[in-house]
Structure 1
């Protein structure tokens, strides 16, 4: 009996640990695609899991820090969701590519428009961010998740280094060391190189086409002249032949 009770108690304890661990990790997070380098640009995915068994997520809001404002935040279209970018005026203007920026993105809101995040599912919302700050190691992007039963979960608690994870941690984007090209990765250069190679191919194609066209025109002209000469020769031969018969 004692062994059975211990086994039951142990099983319940283990199940509780597993359930609690699953809940702790099932929160809104932000993950870079490749590198998110200081002073550069990056593409990130906002990952939103659904934590409820009896409700679906219908709205997600990501708020950007005011102490490190971002001049450019562009959402990638997600089927079944409508994205709205909200900007706010800055107390201190930013300077980007030699221009002064007086406002920055304060939040991006996705609202279900024919789609939902159902129980046991998650959705990713891609964002293009820039220019990332050079004087920060991370960006805390506070999130608000709304369910179709009107429940609202605020993922706004900033995690502290060395401390236990809070109940509703805010998504954190870790920034890597600055790169020389300030693009946060090689995608831009690769795309540019691919575009240049494509242009070279097109120019060569046009050159070959023009060369083929010129060759065709020259051949046609030569054949035309030959045809005319053959025709003249035929006429002359006919005339001479007629004279010989008359004689």
Structure 2
């Protein structure tokens, strides 16, 4: 082989290696990072109503299974706007001050935790994050709560849902009604009120009894006086008759 052909072949080899390296780097950059907790929507659109969100948490423990997921809802979704759709057998949803928890009997080791919720309406935003805290049966806790910052991918990213623009004419719904206490038509008295009422009733009864006793005493006294007067009058009349007979 001539020197010329050797140089051409060598240059082609270097170009092929460079191209392969560039392709590998491109694929590596294009490949998404392994998602340990993720969320999807059947209608990923801002202001969409009655949307079903599907959550998947990847099992990472070699010795324990999931027992609970705690999800922090993004601004625009209230805990009262969420209802449970599907979850592992025996798991239940409980609202918290900033989101909800869903949990129950421990899943088998290595089994991913999947659950679905229905949201009354998605907020008017381009993307929403659902910070998730996972708890295993051995007490281990994994927190997927970090948000992207400065263009860098966080080590423990929160599940993020990208939304399309709202449909024309879509508007936010009014806030969910909250349960309010309705006053009872006949309120039950408190312990203090009952004691006060009982004490008042006792005082009134005592006063009534005293009044009755006083009235009875006055009547009896009057009768005694009347009897004394009558007795004295009878004695005086008898004495006067005796004196007259002697005269």
- For normalisation by structure 2, the TM-score amounts to 0.50
Equivalent position of 1:80 in the other structure: 89
Matches within 5 A, 1:1-247: 25-33=34-42, 35-41=43-49, 42-65=51-74, 67-70=75-78, 72-86=81-95, 88=97, 106-113=98-105, 115-119=106-110, 121-134=111-124, 136-160=125-149, 162-163=151-152, 165-180=153-168, 182=170
| Superposed CA offset, 1:94-123 (max 9, x none) | xxxxxxxxxxxx32211123x51521x313
> Do the aligned residues in 2 keep the contact of 1:50 with 1:117 (CA within 8 Å)?
no
Aligned structure 1 segments of 4 or more residues deviating by more than 3 angstroms? 180-183
Cα deviation 1:28-74 (Å, max 9, x = unaligned): 111112x2211112211011110112221111111112x33335111
State the structure with more CA Rg. 2
Q: CA RMSD in A?
A: 2.7
How far 1:146 moved relative to its partner?
0.6
Distance (whole Å) between structure 1 residues aligned to residue 135 and residue 108 of structure 2 = 11
Mapped partners of 2:121, 2:56: distance in 1: 21
Q: Distance in 1 between matches of 2:134 and 2:44?
A: 24
* Deviation string, structure 1 residues 153-183 (Cα, Å, up to 9, x no partner): 11110123622x2111111111111124759
Structure 1 CA distance for aligned equivalents of residues 87 and 36 of structure 2: 20
Whether contact under 8 Å (2:129, 2:160) holds in the other structure is yes
CA deviation digits over 1:213-234, x for unaligned, max 9? xxxxxxxxxxxxxxxxxxxxxx
Length, aligned pairs only: 140
With over 3 angstroms needed to count, the CA separation of the structure-2 counterparts of 1:87 and 1:153, relative to structure 1, is closer
Q: 1-side partners of 2:76 and 2:101: how far apart?
A: 19
- Runs of 5+ consecutive residues of structure 1 not aligned to the other structure: 1-17, 89-105, 184-247
CA distance in 2, matches of 1:87, 1:52: 26
Supply the distance in 1 between the matched residues of 2:149 and 2:120 (Cα, whole angstroms).
Answer: 25
Question: Which blocks of at least 5 consecutive residues in structure 2 are unaligned?
Answer: 1-27, 172-247
Bigger strand share: 1
C-alpha contact 2:143 2:156 (8 A) present in aligned 1: yes
Q: Provide TM-score, normalisation by structure 1.
A: 0.50
**2:109 partner SS:** coil
Q: Is the 8 A contact 2:86 2:117 kept in 1?
A: no
More relative contact order, 1 or 2 (CA 8 Å, 6+ apart): 1
